[in-house]
Amino acid sequence: MYALNYVKAKSVKEAAEFLSKHSEAKLLAGGMTLLPTLKMRLARPTHLVDIGALAELRKIEAKGGKLVIGAGAKHHDVATSAVVKKAIPALAGLAFAIGDPQVRNQGTIGGSVANNDPAADYPAAVLGLGATVVTTKREIAAEKFFQGLFTTALDAGEIIVRVEFPLPKRAAYSKFHHPASGYAMAGVFIAQAVDGVRVAVTGAGPGVFRWKQAEAALAKGLKPDAIEGVKLDYREFNNDIHADREYRANLVRVMAKRALAKLSGKK
Amino acid sequence: MAKVTIKVNGKNHTKTVEDRTLLVNFLRDELGLTGTHVGCDTSQCGCCTVHINGRAVKSCTVLAAQVNGANVVTIEGMAKGSKLHPIQQAFSECHGLQCGFCTPGMIMATAGLLKDNPNPTDEDIYKGLEGNLCRCTGYINIVKAVKRSAKLLRGKAR
């Protein structure tokens, strides 16, 4: 890791002010992606502004038909929160399947969403549930927020404060995790929302995306065999040492079926 | 430079270190607590697992400065004098180690697991120790040791 200056922010406001004055500073929350990146010397920020310990970012509450999760909530918090388990059990389950226990004790939802790793789990839930990312500057709909490979709508110095999830009627997530890293080789989040069915896919392509053809096919009923034969354009899928794109395309179908099987089960 | 005060195994330590100092290096190099190991240095193997404010984390992926003011427990803080912690005792009795390099991390991860789930099934143990690698044992005796630990901690071991 290159030498840098560590700054502990006392509030989100203070962090935002600091970022506005230091263009090469970076936010640090859980550090589960950032610190390994720095150790590999893939980034060289002048400062790390730590917002990981801010209580104002860790609130989890259900209000006004939404589940609101503070950006600083750890994966462990989300996985074990009674509020999340009651409101959107699939989201608690997703959080429990991230990385390993030590990672879940440090990593945050805001960090995962801001990083937009193409194989991260949270983006699938944020897009699949049609959530809104609330920042220090504005509210951003999931569709606009995720912009492909490690790219988001966030401006320099803009900080995610919370994520607001509208409550679905039902939702399920299924992923095929990479046996070493725990990241999704393919993960499919299916939600029956008030305004229709949404299917979000992570891990397979260069960024999370909605599988619109599957959504159309499932509009007639959430049954696993409804996925058979539905078109899936995999030309841009990741093709790497872990899996080729054809294999990932097959995994997406299998994960979609597993998510649907969960939905047609008890709940 | 960052001046940090961290309570380690019940005792406050104040040191001035480089801002980029990792917690594991703080523990090993500044405090001489070499029981916490650096295995992979990439947050995969779990050998560096310690508890920060009661939660298990990988100390190779945390800055010492982030932990300023926190309460850290390392493997050295587990035994009471010459009396092993029940988890250490169980690893010893069940031969849950061979070379021993991963063991401090395994024990700290086990302590974290049993805190959340005092009576884990085999599946719970596999998932609970997902962040720790052992290249000797094949895990069979580690799983036994975790089950034995759970019994000891619940006061139900014979």
Amino acid A150: pLDDT: 95
Residue of A54, A100, A177 best to disrupt the B interface, most CBs of B under 10 A: A100
The total domain count for chain A is 2
Q: Average pLDDT for residues A174-199, to the nearest whole number? A: 93
Q: How far is A6 from chain B (nearest CA, A)?
A: 6
Spatial strand order of the sheet with A196-202 comes to A170-177, A184-193, A196-202, A209-210
| Residue B8 dihedral angles phi and psi, to the nearest 5° | -115, 120
The pLDDT tens digits for B106-141 are 999 999 999 999 999 999 999 999 999 999 999 999
Give the CATH number for residue A104: 3.30.465.10
Nearest to B61 among A36, A181, A182 (CB): A36
Of B20, B42, B68, the CB nearest to A4: B20
pLDDT band of residue A50 (cuts 50, 70, 90) is very high
CATH number of the domain that residue A235 is part of? 3.30.390.50
pLDDT single digits (tens) A104-157 = 999 999 999 999 999 999 999 999 999 999 999 999 999 999 999 999 999 999
The rounded mean pLDDT for chain A is 96
Cα–Cα distances in Å, from A262 out to A183, A192, B79? 21, 13, 45
Confidence of residue A266 (pLDDT cuts 50, 70, 90): very low
Contact between B66 and A31 using a beta-carbon 8 Å cutoff = yes
Reply yes or no on whether the pLDDT at A244 is more than 50: yes
Would you state the pLDDT for residue A267?
43
- A9 pLDDT above the threshold of 60: yes
Task: Provide the domain limits for residue A138.
Answer: 5-38+57-166
Could you give phi then psi for residue B7, rounded to 5 degrees? Answer: -85, 115
Domain ends where: A166, A192, A212? Answer: A166
Architecture in CATH for domain B2-77? Roll (3.10)
Same domain, A222 and A90: no
Q: What integer is the mean pLDDT of A145-174?
A: 97
Give the separation between CA B114 and CA A100, rounded to whole angstroms.
Answer: 15
Is the Cβ–Cβ distance between A31 and A106 less than 8 Å? yes
**Residue pairs between chains A and B whose CB atoms are closer than 8 Å:** 79
Percent of chain A with pLDDT over 90: 92
* pLDDT reading at A180 higher than 90: no
Report pLDDT digits (tens) over B19-35.
999 999 999 999 999 99
Average the pLDDT over B139-148 and give the result.
97
The verdict on residue A244 lying in a domain is: yes
Determine what percent of chain B falls in helix, strand and coil, rounding each to the nearest 5. 40, 20, 45
Task: Give domain status of residue A234, yes or no.
Answer: yes
pLDDT of residue A1: 93
Q: Judge: B61–A3 Cβ closer than 8 Å, yes or no.
A: no
Mutation site for A-interface testing, chosen from B16, B61, B116 by largest number of A Cβ within 10 Å: B61
Query: Which residues of A are less than 8 Å from B41 in CB distance?
Result: 39
Answer yes or no: is pLDDT of B158 > 60.
Answer: no
Question: DSSP assignment, residue A3?
Answer: -
Residue A156 lies in a domain: yes
Of A166, A199, A221, which residue is a domain's last? Answer: A166
Please tell me whether residues A112 and A26 are part of one structural domain: yes
Asked if A155 and A176 sit in the same domain, the reply is no
- A44 within some domain: no
Q: Are residues A11 and A120 in the same domain?
A: yes
d(CA A259, CA B134): 33
Q: Which of B19, B41, B57 is opposite residue A102, by nearest beta carbon?
A: B57
**Whether pLDDT at A251 is above 70:** yes
- In CATH, what number does B86-153 get? 1.10.150.120
Within 8 A of B20 by CB-CB distance, chain A residues are: 1-4, 6, 38
| Residue of A4, A102, A180 lying closest to B109 (CB–CB) | A102
Nearest CB partner across the interface for B56, out of A6, A36, A101: A101
When pLDDT is cut at 50, 70 and 90, the band that residue B47 belongs to is: very high
Sequential DSSP letters for A164-182: EEEPPSEEEEEEEE-TTT-
A178 assigned to some structural domain: yes
Nearest-by-CA chain A residue for B106: A102
Please compute the mean of the pLDDT values over residues B1-15 and round it to a whole number. Answer: 97
Q: How confident is the model at residue B155 (pLDDT cuts 50, 70, 90)?
A: confident
Assigned domain for A128 exists: yes
Contact between residue A173 and residue A180 where contact means Cβ atoms under 8 Å apart:
no
- In a mutational test of the B interface, the residue from A76, A102, A177, A183 whose CB has the highest number of chain B CBs within 10 Å is A102
